[in-house]
Amino acid sequence: PGAAAPRSARGGGSGSGWKLSEEAVCREDVVRLCSKHSWANNLAVLECLQDVREPDNEISSDCNHLLWNYKLNLTTDPKFESVAREVCKSTIAEIKECADEPVGKGFLVSCLVDHRGNITEYQCHQYITKMTAIIFSDYRLICGFMDDCKADINLLKCGSIRPGEKDAHSQGEVVACLEKGLVKEAEETDPRIQVSDQCKKAILRVAELSSDDFHLDRHLYFACRDDRERFCENTQAGEGRVYKCLFNHKFEESMSEKCRDALTTRQKLIAQDYKVSYSLAKSCKSDLKKYRCNVENLPRSREARLSYLLMCLESAVHRGRQVSSECQGEMLDYRRMLMEDFSLSPEIILSCRGEIEHHCSGLHRKGRTLHCLMKVVRGEKGNVGLNCQQALQTLIQETDPGADYRIDRALNEACESVIQTACKHIRSGDPMILSCLMEHLYTEKMVEDCEHRLLELQYFISRDWKLDTVLYRKCQGDASRLCHTHGWNETSELMPPGAVFSCLYRHAYRTEEQGRRLSRECRAEVQRILHQRAMDVKLDPGLQDKCMIDLGKWCSEKTETGQELECLQDHLDDLASDCRDIVGNLTELESEDIQIEALLMRACEPIIQTFCHEVADNQIDSGDLMECLIQNKHQKEMNEKCAIGVTHFQLVQMKDFRFSYKFKMACKEDVLKLCPNIKKKVDVVICLSTTVRNDTLQDAKEHRVSLKCRKQLRVEELEMTEDIRLEPELYEACKSDIKNYCQNVPYGNAQIIECLKEIKKQLSTRCHQKVFKLQETEMMDPELDYTLMRVCKQMIKRFCPEADSKNMLQCLKQNKNSEVMDPKCKQMITKRQITQNTDYRLNPVLRKACKADIPKFCQNILNRAKDDTELEGQVISCLKLKYADQRLSPDCEDQIRVIIQESALDYRLDPQLQMHCSDEISSLCAEEAAAQEQTGQVEECLKVNLLKIKTEMCKKEVLNMLKESKADIFVDPVLHTACALDIKHHCAAIPPGRGRQMSCLMEALEDKRVRLQPECKKRLNDRIEMWSYAAKVAPAEGFSDLAMQVMTSPSKNYILSVITVGICVLFLIGLMCGRITKRVTRELKDR
């Protein structure tokens, strides 16, 4: 009886009539569970009783049955329908579909519920909302739902959730079960159970209708009732606000698991049908229509999917179209929602299931699973399937976190501190925040967690140029014109990852002659991104794709920042051709714009600010900045990181002349014409400089190498002298010698080269030859002698500002003994003089002056000479002897006189003397040799100790010195210094040379009327004694010398007698023995 149908169905409100609260079967439950003021209102009592779910507050079965029948009557009773017609008169007139519904079947209320979103009448809206709450409490009351989904309920076993009619009015669980079946189907490749199309429509329609009020989603309402009180107590119900609030708190620790599951199901439904979100559908309604994003080809077509809506509206925003701020706000929320929870994207679950299980299990909150997958795709945690990578790429395009970093919650949380410190000047949510973070990558302001999240996201942004919002905005016109791109949401499957950006940067660095270029704005953006992404090879899709094998083969241990590209550059010649091409192109690009090397730029910041700020500020670099850094590489402000980076780039440049932008631009025509098929820069430099030298030596009317190329060639030649590694042939030849003798010497400042020069005699033959060749080149062109030019920089400015580079050393030598000469420079000049005197070929001035004399007098030495090996001063010694005999040509004599004068002051400049008398110098003249400045004291010591010298070769060298000094007083510095005043007084009118002034002094010594200075007199007497001794012991060099020695010998008569007797004996033998040869007959003679 109590379970009978209610007698009246009018009790929609308070007032007279039948009261639900007065029914015996429900009175106890109403008193126990519902507030007193609601008892008079049947709908209020119904709402109160159907919202009760606690096990200890279950309502009786009879009351349940009464409620079910009452609700059924409400939805089908014609009288109740007439109330609806009265309350919603104007609404029904507006909604044609509802006006046409037949009377008394209960369809009118269902129709009005369907169109609830369009109802503007307040009373009607209130009434229909109450009715919706009643209808949605049980799926069997929803018009047509039972018919559409009966089979699916049985198939999915959703009817067994609450068996029987014990809780018949709370059958919202059935709808929830169907919803779960629907979303699960989308996540499976081959679903076992498929929900029928008509039921799918019904489920999504119910979800749409319940989108404004969370009371209408009965399963979610009961699952989240406590959470709603905890998190959203102050959120007013209606317009989907409670859903939104709960979504925002979904990953809170205190959120109940059952509520989180219910919310996730709801979100998955939104992903399948955006209208399930009331606020999104309402806020974006006009924009969707305006930009034709909601063309309903099918009732539940792909256009209804959230991803399609987001992509379509984002495309409008990126094209600069106006989308309402309310809609953009909603889009932001749902993009963030998709990034937060990977499970909302069926494609991710479908394509990345294996990767999630193997690498990312247990990371289901706040976007951590997605970032874990991104990490896997980047290659940091193993391999990943192509489908998974594609699914992730699509999701990143849908959510577009490049436009607003806050969409990526994992990134936002990881980078919050960095943004607050490094990027606080940029408005929150601005796309340039990501750019700012990239600029601070690997700086002290960056934190490790942020670095990882940032690189994981940038990996995907770098593979689709549209995902960098600023780049797309500035370059969409250029990309369409030059790279044939389509609209923002039209992805071309034919284009490989990063292809559009590669196309843009190729055009960014084109010259005007090369054709179409990018707009200024776009070029600036392309440069910005190149500078940021060059730090990580994984951000260059083409490079990573083509060089994956080579990276594993050569660079597996190079895991530090920026090391991978450096490693590929170091192994350029070993790389596979595709990889070599792409690394070569990138290096060529770096040579034009070195700021692409962001890490190098950071390391070199102090030096750039101090020395290169003018070129650094230029919009177009063109290689000027790197040239400036190279020139200032050894400034005291230079730090080690910067110096290493600059040197590395120089070493890379040696591999291909294209890698030196300025050189390439200045000399490309010359290279094509004069040095075709030569690739390596060092070979190109040698080829061009040889051509220049030949043209100069042959006095060619017109140089084959253009002027602009010659100028840049000079720069390249000078740069190469600074580090032995920049001269690969020399470096390869001397590698073992460097290891053995110069191990702890730094490479920079030509220190290794200088070390090898100093130990030249100990070097291996091949290295020795290369060093000799280098010295020969340096002596011909002293500007290429890096150490000399560096040490003597100030002295060159002082003494040789106008001097030609070829005569620089000659000029320095002439000013070597100046009082203001820097001691270090003087020491360096002496070193070079010592080198020059080891071989006439290292003295270009002498070589030219004596080109006729050397073959004439010293041919026997030349015959024994080997190419690229020092003659140890033998030719110069030979010329010195001829100088003493006064047999040289005037030009050659002048040069030899200078050499004799210099070596008379410093014994080290006479290699033959040093070689043959090293023991005697150590034993007899150690003190003089140790003097800081050599003034001829060692030579004087050897002359004085001539009688003590036992070694024949040393004795011969000292005797040669005496002979040379006899020819000219200038070559005897000790005697010249002692007699300077006397020469001035007594021999001023006599020109120097050919022994004339020496003869004048000898005559003055013998003249009793002339009084010479005591020191001069003493030195002259010493010399006479030495010459006398020399005459006795020196071997005769010709017949005249031999005759002179015989005539001056004390045994002259004895020697002459022996010679006469010998001749007589020979005559007598001839007389007595007759002829030695046989006579020959006349016939034979005449034949």
Residue 751 burial (C-beta neighbours within 10 Å; 0-12, 13-18, 19+):
middle
Query: Can you tell me the distance from the alpha carbon of 930 to that of 725, in angstroms, rounded to the nearest whole number?
Result: 36
**Residue 442 domain-assigned?**
yes
Put residue 400 in one of left, alpha, beta given phi > 0 → left and psi -120 to 50 → alpha: left
H helices present in 555-620, as ranges: 563-570, 577-592, 598-603, 605-611, 613-616
**Residue 224 domain-assigned?**
no
Query: Can you tell me the distance from the alpha carbon of 608 to that of 589, in angstroms, rounded to the nearest whole number?
Result: 20
Give the three-class secondary structure for 1027. helix
Query: Can you tell me the distance from the alpha carbon of 842 to that of 773, in angstroms, rounded to the nearest whole number?
Result: 9
DSSP per-residue codes, 486-536: --TT---TTSPTTHHHHHHHHHHT--STT-----HHHHHHHHHHHHHHTT-
**207 with 179: CB under 8 angstroms?**
yes
Task: List phi, psi (to 5°) of 391.
Answer: -65, -40
Of the candidates 259, 544, 260, the residue with the CA atom closest to the CA atom of residue 378: 544
Count other Cβ atoms within 10 Å, centred on residue 380: 15
**825 with 868: CB under 8 angstroms?**
no
**Residue 426 domain-assigned?**
yes
Nearby residues of 788 by Cβ (< 8 Å), 6 or more positions away: 778, 782, 808, 809, 812, 828, 829, 832
Residue 15 burial (C-beta neighbours within 10 Å; 0-12, 13-18, 19+):
exposed
Q: What averages of pLDDT result for each successive group of 10 residues across the chain (1087 residues)?
A: 38 54 81 80 76 64 74 68 81 82 72 79 82 70 76 78 44 81 84 86 86 84 88 88 92 91 93 90 90 60 76 87 93 92 88 86 75 85 79 91 92 94 91 92 90 92 89 89 75 68 85 72 90 85 88 83 86 93 91 85 89 79 86 88 91 91 92 91 93 86 91 92 92 94 91 93 92 92 93 93 88 91 93 91 91 91 78 86 84 89 88 91 91 86 88 89 80 86 87 82 86 89 82 62 57 78 85 65 58
Tokens standing for residue 564: 């991978």
**809, 814, 817, 821 alpha-carbon torsion, rounded to 10°:** -50
Nearby residues of 1067 by Cβ (< 8 Å), 6 or more positions away: none
Query: Can you tell me the distance from the alpha carbon of 755 to that of 902, in angstroms, rounded to the nearest whole number?
Result: 25
For residue 227, which amino acid is it? D
CA 118 to chain centroid, in Å, comes to 58
Sign of CA dihedral 373, 377, 380, 382: positive
Q: What is the DSSP letter of 14?
A: S
Nearest-5° Cα angle at 914, 909 to 919: 155
Query: Can you tell me the distance from the alpha carbon of 218 to that of 202, in angstroms, rounded to the nearest whole number?
Result: 16
Put residue 717 in one of left, alpha, beta given phi > 0 → left and psi -120 to 50 → alpha: alpha
**769 with 869: CB under 8 angstroms?**
yes
Q: Which domain holds residue 421?
A: 403-461
SS (H, E, C) 361-417: CCCCCCCHHHHHHHHHHCCCCCCCCHHHHHHHHHHHHHHCCCCCHHHCHHHHHHCHH
pTM of the predicted structure, to 2 decimals: 0.73
Query: Can you tell me the distance from the alpha carbon of 504 to that of 481, in angstroms, rounded to the nearest whole number?
Result: 11
What's the Rg (C-alpha) of the chain?
Answer: 51
Of the candidates 788, 790, 839, the residue with the CA atom closest to the CA atom of residue 816: 788
**Residue 148 domain-assigned?**
no
**Residue 772 domain-assigned?**
no
**Residue 707 domain-assigned?**
no
**803 with 811: CB under 8 angstroms?**
yes
How far are the Cα atoms of 102, 135, 205, 1032 from residue 76, in angstroms, in the given order? 12, 11, 21, 151
State the total domains in the chain. Answer: 1
Q: What is the DSSP letter of 807?
A: G
pLDDT at 163: 42
pLDDT at 169: 42
pLDDT at 168: 41
Give the three-class secondary structure for 928. helix
**Residue 446 domain-assigned?**
yes
**Residue 187 domain-assigned?**
no
Give the three-class secondary structure for 217. coil
